[in-house]
Amino acid sequence: MLFRSHLSIGLFVFAALITRTISFWPLGTLNAPTVIATIFYLFGLILPDIDSPHSKISRHSPFFHYFASLFTKHRGFVHSIFSGFILMVGLGFILSFLNLNLANAGWFFIGYLVHLLTDGLTPHGVKLFFPISNATIRGPISSGSFSEKVISVLSYSAALILIVQSLGNII
């Protein structure tokens, strides 16, 4: 999937979640996110593509891309729940040490999962449970295709409807 598709689908999922309380072990309850939690979510949403030389995050963070590429190929280890969990736990330790809200690590992980599931919609797919399993989750939507563009537009539209609807409940 392209960056804009990750963003549109991620925005839709985020809009669907922001009005709900989520019980998230081991981090407790994730309530409506703060601005900081939103940033963590967005970071989780784009970080898995650090292993792709063509991604926006790799082009803006060449050092981190180089480091990631030493250990994995695109859609390898970084595109697994296991790596997202390790990053979430590490982030949780850092947040705890700094006396910051652990829920931010939970929002990061949710963004990470959304990215993985979105990539699972493509024919290339993802090995979601790597290194435990090499099974690949695949879908029919090619990156850059008309179908992907339609999904992006529909996701943005649905997100906008959810956001306007939630604002109506506040006002």
Angle at 54 between CA 90 and CA 73, to 5 degrees: 55
The separation between the first and the last C-alpha atoms of the chain, rounded to the nearest angstrom, is 36
> In the chain, what are the domain boundaries?
3-56+69-154
Let me know: does 164 contact 144? Beta carbons within 8 Å. no
Q: Could you tell me the pTM of the whole model?
A: 0.86
Q: List, run by run, the mean pLDDT of 10-residue segments along the chain (171 residues).
A: 93 86 65 83 92 75 69 76 95 95 92 96 94 94 95 95 78 56
User: Residue 50's pLDDT is what?
Assistant: 81
User: Residue 157's pLDDT is what?
Assistant: 96
User: Residue 51's pLDDT is what?
Assistant: 80
> Which of 99, 102, 105, 1 shows the shortest CA–CA distance to 46?
1
